[in-house]
Structure 1
């Protein structure tokens, strides 16, 4: 089969004494002068334990039949598992697969495989998120985070259909299905697509090996998440399936509400590359491109920031993927001040609800002609 290489774009050179060079020096000086490691600290490890318990303790209770005589308790345990799944995704798996738990690669890989335990595939995640999304943020055709069903138009460069005028209403339904689709069909379709685009080899994985890994991990996932509750929970199969859907709809909707307002917003640049012959060139350097396509939100909401793994500090995360999220709040003033000194925007929505409203407004804008 002929390989279809990814149609990459080139960013403008960063230049000497550039924004990113100045910022990197200032951030590194912060860690050095305070004698702080950029990796996980004790608070991060404690959070990891809490998130894992929030997912696995309700799961054990379900399997042991704790909700056998009380349907609302039974479904409540599935609902709690949904929040545990969110916490694992944002505050455990995410950092591990960026390599920010430890300077030791094997520790990060080991923790990153928690994604397989909750039904995903870490290789696909690293390609989609680390390689494509973080490099080509909001660039249509490269950033898979904005490549969704044809029913959603998430970029000005994407084709518009008449039904997109209503997407600000129905998009939330598709957002809720995100993890359910991920745990069923997405990993298989995605790994085949990544093979066709010659991306699997960068992770040193062959397609047969990847397909086998996905199949075995999903068999394990469905064995403990559905088969064991069906056998031992004491509830009929249709109540078990309802609980399973409650967990995934909760996780899918909230995770989408965390990730979408970080980039698909009215103030995001969505700049398209300039095509010249066989090359595609961006006007901005990579760091500036990330800055103008990324928005923080709710910086004063300490609880939200703790729970979602600092992803409300999305600017800091995109510029410094090698730093654990527990440090974002401290380096945020450095990033903001450096951006201001270079005349660059530092976009922040004051609250989570305000960010969601602006994202909904962007969906409405993209749905118009």
Structure 2
């Protein structure tokens, strides 16, 4: 595939007006964190450089989770490859196609890669990729079957299985660490999802299967808030679970999950992080986070950008990353991870090995769905 850089070499200065519909509140091309950068530019750029356009999920940066992991990947690309990048956050899914198309239509700079973060970008990208066949795209968490799209998906159910197993082991014993403790009279855990979708159901399915790995019966409560940026909604959903006896709540809800952590602190219980090690990404809540299910979105972004830099863009590919590929992982929190009993850690490690070697098959949909 001929890159847009080859097609557009020699093009003059063009304003990226299509991007101006959603004003950038985030770092832009070549900018440092916190800088305010206009989406319209008349600056001439060096054609020898590589430019990447980032379109994030609607939860925005600062979610200490999914979007921030993607941002970490492009920051690493800037350091190690010298690429320049621009960040855009849609105010709603309706803005996604305009932002995708804006990168594709831009010639100053002409973007070598447009990274589309999140499954809600799928339908817009089907249209954008078809209309702009010479633009290279990366899609995270879904698949668009076109030669100019490199797709990266994850086996979230595998990592979530480990979280479920750990949560069940903790709720079935007396455990206290940091600001949390379990109730010896209850064996209950919870799951809080963002938007109810096939993707988030994979998290729930793995979590439930992991809970079932223990011999003692454990109740699982589930709630979907309907958004990835509703902190109050996440707090309300988790608080109800804690009040109903849950010792541990796992979230797959982006920025909404911050409310889960707040409820855990207020109720003196535990919450499991997602996408990044949330005991480190937001240490305010480290005293209630025993572990997180890390999803290496940063590695996927870094790999995809590296392929473009090397002239080896993998258009039309579907890259599926699970435990065996180090695409997902359970990471114990700091400082609570050191307090988890060794027999619990060993049991979870055995489950991990069972998944990797094929002895344990993890479902992708919750039982009964």
Give the structure with the larger strand fraction.
2
After TM superposition, the score normalised by the length of structure 1 is 0.22
Q: Return the structure number with greater relative CO, CA threshold 8 A, min gap 6.
A: 1
After TM superposition, the score normalised by the length of structure 2 is 0.22
Give the structure with the larger helix fraction.
1
